[in-house]
Amino acid sequence: MRPQVSSKTGWSLQRWTILGALLLTMLGLVGYGTATAFAHTAGTTSTAHENHNRHVLVTVFSPGKGDVAGIAGAGFVVDLSLDAINPADNSYLSAANGYKPFFNTPGSPTFHPGSDPGAPGLVVLLSTTKTIPGTPFVGPGTNLAGLFQINGVSKVNHGKLAETWNTWQVGKPIAGAGVQTTLTVFVVKGTAPSVITGEPEDQPGRISNIVHVTFTIAG
C-alpha cells in the first residue's frame, strides 16, 4: 500500500513538462514553468483522513500546503492521482466504471461543475467557491471535478494497480482572489453529485481517504 502522500518526483517532473506543454498549447495559458512545477510537486504536503476499509487512495500533488497559487484568482493547477489500494480494488477505477482517458475541452457541453466524465466518482471542493446566480456554482459544496481538463489512466507497481491522473488548470477566479482556501478531495462509488451537502466523512458511498490542502489563491 502506498503512503498517504507521495511526491513521485521523477515521473511528476516528466508529467508536468508534458501537461504544461499541452495546457499552454490547448488553452493558451501561461505562468507555470517546469522548474516551478517540480518545486511544488516535491514539496507538496497535505492532511489525509485514513480509513483502512477504503478502496482508493487520493494523492494531491498541487497545490501544496501553504502555497500562494495563481494570478488574480486563476492560473493555478490542481493536480492529483487516484490509486487502487490493492489489485482487488482495480475495478473501482476501471473503464467499466467510467474511469478513462478524457480531455474535457473548456467550452464543451461536458465542461461544467459536477462529475468528471473521465473520473465519475471524483469530488473536488474549494471552501471559498462563490455562489454565482444562474450558474452551477452554488458555493463551497459545488463539486468542481467536472472542470478537470486532463484525465489519464495507468497501471502501476508492475502493472498490478489501477491509477488515474487528473489535472485542472483553473481558468477563472471562481473561488476568489487574495484569499485562503481549503481544497478537499475524495472519491465516491458511482457518479459523484454536483453538490455536496454535509461533511465529507459522512458522504454515502465514499471509497477513498479524504485529503485537505489549505493554501492561498493569489490576488
82: nearest Cα among 162, 1, 175:
162
Rounded CA-CA distance 94/91 in Å is 5
Containing H/E element for 38?
A: helix 34-43
Residues sharing a CB contact under 8 Å with residue 93, sequence separation 6 or more, in sequence order: 56, 82, 83, 84, 99, 153, 162, 163, 164
Q: Is residue 3 part of a domain?
A: no
| pLDDT tens digits, 96-142 | 999 999 999 999 999 999 999 999 999 999 999 999 999 999 999 99
Determine, yes or no, domain membership for 1.
no
pTM recorded for the entire structure = 0.80
pLDDT per position as a tens digit, 139-198: 999 999 999 999 999 999 999 999 999 999 999 999 999 999 999 999 999 999 999 999
Per-residue pLDDT for 29 more than 90?
no
User: Among residues 6, 58, 2, which one has the least CA distance to residue 211?
Assistant: 58
The answer to whether position 4 is within a domain reads: no
- Give the pLDDT confidence of 59-91 residue by residue, as tens digits: 999 999 999 999 999 999 999 999 999 999 999
Beta strands in 43-144, from DSSP E residues, in sequence order: 47-49, 56-62, 68-69, 77-84, 102-103, 122-126
Extract the C-alpha cell encoding 69. Answer: 497559487
Q: Does a structural domain hold residue 2?
A: no
The count of residues in the chain is 219
Specify the number of domains making up the chain: 1
β 102-103/68-69 pair status: unpaired
Rounded distance between C-alpha atoms, residue 117 and residue 119, angstroms: 6
Contacts of 79 (CB under 8 A, 6+ apart): 16, 19, 41, 60, 61, 62, 165, 166, 167, 168
CA 170: distance to chain centroid? 11
Query: What pLDDT, on the 0 to 100 scale, is given for residue 52?
Result: 55
Q: What are the two backbone dihedrals, phi and then psi, of residue 193, each rounded to the nearest 5 degrees? A: -70, 160
CA-to-CA separations, 174 to 104, 125, 144, 196, 200, in angstroms, rounded: 18, 12, 10, 17, 21
Beta bridge partners of 166: 80, 151
In a domain, 170, yes or no: yes
Owning domain of residue 66: 9-217
Q: Give CA separation, 22 vs 78, 80, 145, 214, 219, in Å.
A: 15, 17, 19, 27, 25
